[in-house]
Amino acid sequence: MSESSFEERGAGLPGPGCRPFTFFGGKGGTGKTTCAAAYACHLSSRGCRTLLVSTDPAHSTSDVLDVQLGADITPVAENLWGLEVDPALEARRYISEIQERMLSIVSPAIVDEIKKQMEIAYTSPGAEEAAIFDKFVELMDERGRAYDAIVFDTAPTGHTLRLLSLPEILGGWIENLIAKRRKAMEMFGMAGRFDKEMRRRAEEDPVVDALVRRRDRFERSRRYLTDPGSSAFYFVLNAEKMPILETARAVEMLMKFGIGVGGVVVNRVIPEDAGEFFRERLAAQKGYLEDIGERFGRLRRIVRLPLLRTDVQGMDQIKKIAEWIGEIDA
């Protein structure tokens, strides 16, 4: 579905109380995809034009919603659309754009070498993270035109932390590259002060232009992510030791980078009347829930979702969970 048709279908006044950007993350298998889908459903039911975006390479959003999603924005329900970002596809687009810019400014003699290096870059560590990050910012920039809120279902914790820390880590590095490039082009211009073509090339440097655009994109994303009125991150965990410890470390890291953590969602809480079979699990769960309250009590919200009798699949069950997860906005 094209963005133009998406805007036409989503036309209307912004919904009430729609936070622009909400992220759901956590240890794999805790139910973050279900929570992200349910929260997106909650927002859409309140009149917010909502886009649900999955950046987890192991996409399960389509399975949870029982609606086939892909790399194009797809309607799911009234005021709700979905998108599954393909990391490999985005990395290929990302590297292709860089290659196109590079080939426009280098000597024809090294074109083959540039293509070879770009192919290596495509398979290098970090290429997919950088590409997904660019997609993040692209979608964030669109918010307010086609939709009121974007809900991100992110990859497991470690991958997500690397992704969200990119603006802080790479912003200064890019600024330093810009300064060095400008110094080099200044010397190039001085060397060619009697050559009009060399002066023109020094003044119209596409490399600096590309670096400046990249720097500005990082700065915009940093503003989005560190503004508590715009963004909030929610960790989904189970009342078990390992998810609690992993979440505690992740909360500290996001706070270090100034990214607001709105709270935690404790998923699959065993009900008290679960029966004798769960007696020992209930006793252990009680201790873990107390630990969660102590560790994360300073956060704005701790929401508990009960363990359901069946797997979650389809909008009917998602709507039921949406009634509970809406508590994070209370």
The CATH number of the domain holding residue 43 is: 3.40.50.300
pLDDT score, position 313: 81
Does residue 290 belong to any structural domain of this protein? yes
CA trace torsion 38, 41, 43, 44 (10° rounding)? 170
Does residue 199 belong to any structural domain of this protein? no
CA 289 to each of CA 104, 263, 301, 330: distance values in angstroms, whole numbers, following the listed order: 58, 14, 14, 21
pLDDT by residue (tens digit) across 28-40? 889 999 999 999 9
Does residue 259 belong to any structural domain of this protein? yes
Whether residues 20 and 97 fall in one domain: no
**What burial class does residue 51 get, using C-beta atoms within 10 Å of its C-beta: 0-12 exposed, 13-18 middle, 19+ buried?**
buried
Whether 294 and 279 have beta carbons less than 8 Å apart is answered as no
Whether residues 142 and 245 fall in one domain: yes
Residue 285 clears pLDDT 60, i.e. is over it: yes
Residue-number span of the structural domain to which 113 is assigned? 92-122
The overall average pLDDT reported for the chain is 79
Whether residues 17 and 141 fall in one domain: yes
Instruction: Return the structure tokens found at 187.
Output: 């010397």
CA 306 to each of CA 156, 248, 266, 330: distance values in angstroms, whole numbers, following the listed order: 22, 22, 9, 18
pLDDT score, position 145: 80
Whether residues 148 and 58 fall in one domain: yes
Provide mean pLDDT across the span 89-103: 68
pLDDT by residue (tens digit) across 299-330? 989 999 999 888 888 898 999 999 999 988 86
Whether residues 9 and 113 fall in one domain: no
Report percent pLDDT > 90 for the chain.
36
Please state the pTM of the whole predicted model.
0.77
pLDDT by residue (tens digit) across 51-76? 999 987 777 899 899 899 988 999 99
Whether residues 264 and 292 fall in one domain: yes
pLDDT by residue (tens digit) across 184-227? 666 655 555 545 555 555 555 566 666 677 777 778 888 888 89
Does residue 197 belong to any structural domain of this protein? no
Q: How many CB atoms lie within 10 A of CB 4?
A: 9
Whether residues 11 and 114 fall in one domain: no
Does residue 187 belong to any structural domain of this protein? no
Distance, CA of 314 to chain centre = 23
Whether residues 42 and 153 fall in one domain: yes
Whether residues 78 and 23 fall in one domain: yes
Does residue 198 belong to any structural domain of this protein? no
How many separate domains does the chain show? 2
